[in-house]
Structure 1
Amino acid sequence: MDQLAPVLLAFPPENPTDDNDTYDKAVKAHLNRLTKLLKDNNADLILHGPQLLELLSPAVNSLSYLAVLHTLVIPSLATSMARDLLLEKLAIFLVSFDGRQCRYAGTHLHDLLSTVGSGQYLPPSVAVDVLATAILKLDPTGRMLTSTHIILARLAYNTDNIEPALKVIDKIIVFYPNMINYKEPQYLCDLDLFPPAYITRENGLTAVVKAAAVMEYDLLCGMMYCARREWAKAHAAFERVVTFPTREGGTSKIMAEAYKKWVLVSLLLNGKHTDPPSYTGAAANKLYGTLGKSYVSVATSFVTENAEGLKAEVEKNAEIWQEDGNTGLIQEVLAAYQKWRVLNLQDIYTKISISEIREQTLSAETGEKLGKDEDVEALVQNMIIGGMLKGVIEKNDDGTVFLTFLSSTTELSELEFADELLRMASRLKELQPIFRATSERLGTSKDYVKHIMKESKRNEKSDAPDPTLGFDAQVDDEDLMGGVIQTG
């Protein structure tokens, strides 16, 4: 114990420095001492592990704490420490570690994250929160996808612990592991590095992330948003899978699964279904039309006034919805049908009585009118509360209840306008480093350099448009994915 403690407490120094060169040398020297300690004194670390964890600070002595904790947890929980106490120390470490230090011990950190992600040790709600917090401690921007993201999404969705995962899955992914044109950084501790420069397979902070895993992550995100009825976010997540670039213009089972859900969510979000975006692969588009035929038929019926036809279409293919795991979404679509019929009335009326709404709209769940005016009033009230409909319910002196549609566009006050400008400015500030990183990466791309040279020669002969225009069309899917496809 007396021999172990001084080594473990030696880093960070009493007077830490932000200078990258000094910090890098100090942390590497400490790693060498830790490596020797783990090799020569492994049994002592297990024996005195409980006392050492009490002595060390997970937030200050993160590398040493990680070394002891990894020894006690991997490959199985040590018997020298009470299980509950050890798991408590594990959770505390993963929500408080110093991300800068742990860049140098990626494999050990990833082992602990995978252990928590297995769902075998911590309660699911705790495990999901711990994983989400750890991901953001390592990458505060949340812009890079790692193998831990997929572990998190699976655990959150399968255990229905979605809320604590939102702080991660709400982030827009920009970077992927081992993207091309990112060289090994001079200093791993440099806090100005972009995530792809230090979160790599080589340093162990992420495992291989294949194209299928990227699509699985977006699919799981979409399904979690569906569970929360956040249709816009679900639609965007499914669309990323539907439009995923593939080799030789093919498609996959997971893409077809996302397409089916995307069609249904389109109805809930927009009240109609449209073709996939223009950048969707041509081969994939053709297959979607075949594989999702039943779903497109539902979408076609949804925009008509034939509620009975929609109900019949849904009942006819009940087995398909069940097999695809989309019965819940189909029920949401049936429930939304009358709401969209009510919403469409604002194209004709500015004010309409509740009784008239009952006469002019049908429920797709029953194929009939609602039983009484009070049911229609409750439906409309829920639409207003949920933000789907802008309007107010009023009652005349004679007792007639009316719905008055309000304008969907309202003028902002001067204060609200100023707040909106501040939000936009803040968002633009957040995007600046991402834009700079993307530009730097593009500028070092061999394909881009070839393209610029080709356009320069063309410019010598005649006036030409901006050489960056049309570049996307000349880059292979592998390059567009920036290395994600290359891992397959």
Structure 2
Amino acid sequence: MSDLLARLSAVPYRPHVVTDAANEDYDRQLREFVAYLKQPGLIPSTSDPNEYLQALSPSKNSLSFLYLLRFQIQQAQKRTKRDLPDSIQPGGNLWNLAVRFLRSFDPIQIRYSLDEWRQLVDLVASAAVTSSKAVLGLKATRDALERLSPSGIFTSTHLLLVKLALHSSAYTYALPITDQLLCHFPTDTEHVHHEYFLCSEQAPNTALVTDASGISAKLSYRDHLQYFLYSAMIYMALKKWTQASRCLNVVIASPTANAVSKIMVEAYKKWILANLLGQGKIPSTPKMISPHVIRVYQSLARPYISLAEAFEKGDLYKMSNEIDLGQAIWQADKNTGLVSQLFEAFDKFVIVKLGRTFSALTIADVLQRTSSSPKCPREIEEFVASLVMSNSMRASLSHSPDDNGTTMLRLSLGSQTHPFYREEHIRAKLMRAKTALDTIAQGVTQTDQTLELSQENLQFLAKSQKWSVSAEKVVSSGDIGGGDIDEDLMGDGQ
């Protein structure tokens, strides 16, 4: 046991000075170590794998720990003839070891065994759902993704995460992942740019994640749509309407050949409701959506459009009728909860619009202009106070000193938001835009490298073209009737 434990505990040397030669040597050591761990019969049948696991560190000996843990799980499955034995259920010994590992593994080492890593994450999630503790699987999956940090890349584990969040109703746990910008998919091995080693921290994501790596199960176009639809549902449950609309935009604007999928139509319906609840109106549809697709959306979501038109016009009576007439539709589409929130949103935007006309009103006047649902002056006052505190409107409430108990709502003319909050809001938007642009710029660079569109390569092609043209001129100079054709392959060909 001591010899085997010493071999399993031997961590490949990670270079402190990053050079191509050092990365190459570290890459070789890690690949050889993985090949050693994959040997059949590595653990003697008379040995207890748990003793090795207790002696290894999941953060330093990540590869050894992962393979031993997977081996012990397989042994438990064979012994109990169950896919999910009790030991891998929440609270079991193997569960505790797996969760401990997913929170502390070395992401550089695990790049060399992503398939084993993904299978462990899937198993932990299945065990949590089976034992009716999906939230525990959600936490473990989130920790694993954050630890691996495949930023910008969509994998099957992302889809698993949002499903667990919806299943457990623990929406906030998914936000660290859903807030990330995804712009890459796992690629075929033959299309990978082989300039970097997996152990290089400077390697682009497109070089790190491929179909062959095993980080993701086979993905389809439907999986991509589902992820953004489920992410939008998470944001809507948290009343984060802007983020929800952003995710739904991805779904409804996805390219389509001939037919619009059911997922896209469902997303369009939710897109209408999310924008009504967040902005009080339907924005113009993204320009990349073809007119044909828009017509399909509008024909299949006619009740939602009629409801939105009544909401935007401020016609409370018509909106109420549309909601009553479409009860069966909202229920069939599982949008009843969103539709029921329209009354409160109607009140909100009516009150916010009052600031454009009035400088002060009594709460009784405000009540007369809203009344989307029966409210007493006390309730409408609390509602207005919540709008003020959430910075939805710039106003103040003041109570009359006499005994009549009149409360005045004083609205600020012009900007509805205090300058300080407006500046903070703009600063936050600029920071988010900067982060998004940095991610996009990184993606463009990686794409250029993959497509061989780097500046150096383009300059080389341009020089090669000039050389070939010059050579053709020399060869054809003695030909009778030889034309001097100089076609610019780097230009528009004119």
Counterparts in 2 of 1:381-396, with a 5 A limit?
Answer: 381-396=385-400
Match of 1:11 in 2: 11
Q: Deviations over 1:98-139 (max 9, x none)?
A: 010011111111110111222336932221111111112212
- Secondary structure of the residue aligned to 1:109 is helix
Counterparts in 2 of 1:98-177, with a 5 A limit?
Answer: 98-118=106-126, 119-120=129-130, 123-139=133-149, 142-177=151-186
RMSD, aligned α-carbons: 3.2
Q: 1:222 to 1:127 in 2, by over 3 A?
A: same
Match of 1:441 in 2: 447
C-alpha distance in 2, partners of 1:351/1:314? 32
Q: 1:371 to 1:434 in 2, by over 3 A?
A: closer
Counterparts in 2 of 1:340-355, with a 5 A limit?
Answer: 340-355=349-364
Among residues 195, 209, 216, which one is paired with 1:199 in the alignment?
209
| Amino acid in the other structure paired with 2:288 | Y
Q: CA deviation at 1:302?
A: 0.7
Among residues 359, 362, 367, which one is paired with 2:368 in the alignment?
359
Structure number with the bigger relative contact order (C-alpha 8 A, sep ≥ 6) is: 1
Q: CA deviation at 1:417?
A: 7.0
C-alpha distance in 2, partners of 1:35/1:116? 22
C-alpha distance in 1, partners of 2:317/2:3? 80
Q: Which range is displaced more, 305-314 or 173-182?
A: 173-182
Q: Which range is displaced more, 173-182 or 401-410?
A: 173-182
C-alpha distance in 2, partners of 1:418/1:323? 41
Q: Deviations over 1:27-65 (max 9, x none)?
A: 1221222122xx0235538x4111011010000000000
2:252 aligned with 1:252, yes or no? no
Q: Deviations over 1:71-105 (max 9, x none)?
A: 12248547699551111000000111001001111
C-alpha distance in 1, partners of 2:177/2:236? 16
Match of 2:383 in 1: 379
C-alpha distance in 2, partners of 1:77/1:299? 54
2:411 aligned with 1:405, yes or no? yes
- Secondary structure of the residue aligned to 1:202 is helix
| Amino acid in the other structure paired with 1:116 | V
Q: 1:15 to 1:445 in 2, by over 3 A?
A: closer
Structure 1 residue ranges without an equivalent (≥5) = 462-488
Match of 1:34 in 2: 37
Q: 1:371 to 1:7 in 2, by over 3 A?
A: closer
Q: CA deviation at 1:393?
A: 0.8
Match of 1:316 in 2: 325
Match of 2:469 in 1: none
Counterparts in 2 of 1:226-237, with a 5 A limit?
Answer: 226-237=236-247
| Amino acid in the other structure paired with 2:103 | V
C-alpha distance in 1, partners of 2:453/2:304? 40
| TM-score calculated relative to the size of structure 2 | 0.82
Q: CA deviation at 1:426?
A: 9.2
Q: CA deviation at 1:423?
A: 9.2
Among residues 302, 322, 326, which one is paired with 2:335 in the alignment?
326
Q: Deviations over 1:381-420 (max 9, x none)?
A: 122233322221112344431112233344349xx97998
C-alpha distance in 1, partners of 2:344/2:131? 40
Q: 1:361 to 1:431 in 2, by over 3 A?
A: closer
Q: CA deviation at 1:362?
A: 2.6
The answer as to whether partners of 1:181 and 1:441 remain within 8 angstroms in 2 is no
Structure 2 residue ranges without an equivalent (≥5) = 81-85, 463-486
Q: 1:40 to 1:184 in 2, by over 3 A?
A: same
| Amino acid in the other structure paired with 1:41 | L
Q: 1:280 to 1:410 in 2, by over 3 A?
A: same
| TM-score calculated relative to the size of structure 1 | 0.83
C-alpha distance in 1, partners of 2:322/2:432? 47
| Amino acid in the other structure paired with 1:437 | G
Q: 1:124 to 1:454 in 2, by over 3 A?
A: farther
Q: 1:94 to 1:172 in 2, by over 3 A?
A: same
Q: 1:148 to 1:201 in 2, by over 3 A?
A: same
The answer as to whether partners of 1:154 and 1:220 remain within 8 angstroms in 2 is yes
Among residues 256, 280, 283, which one is paired with 1:271 in the alignment?
280
The answer as to whether partners of 1:87 and 1:122 remain within 8 angstroms in 2 is no
C-alpha distance in 2, partners of 1:423/1:334? 29
C-alpha distance in 2, partners of 1:361/1:14? 66
- Secondary structure of the residue aligned to 2:409 is strand
Counterparts in 2 of 1:448-459, with a 5 A limit?
Answer: 456-458=490-492
Q: CA deviation at 1:430?
A: 7.6
Among residues 82, 104, 122, which one is paired with 1:96 in the alignment?
104
- State percent identity of aligned pairs: 24
The answer as to whether partners of 2:152 and 2:439 remain within 8 angstroms in 1 is no
Match of 2:229 in 1: 219
The answer as to whether partners of 2:186 and 2:211 remain within 8 angstroms in 1 is yes
| Amino acid in the other structure paired with 1:289 | Q
2:52 aligned with 1:44, yes or no? no
Q: 1:305 to 1:204 in 2, by over 3 A?
A: closer
The answer as to whether partners of 1:177 and 1:208 remain within 8 angstroms in 2 is no
C-alpha distance in 1, partners of 2:331/2:13? 61
Among residues 266, 272, 283, which one is paired with 2:292 in the alignment?
283
Q: 1:296 to 1:420 in 2, by over 3 A?
A: closer
C-alpha distance in 1, partners of 2:263/2:14? 53
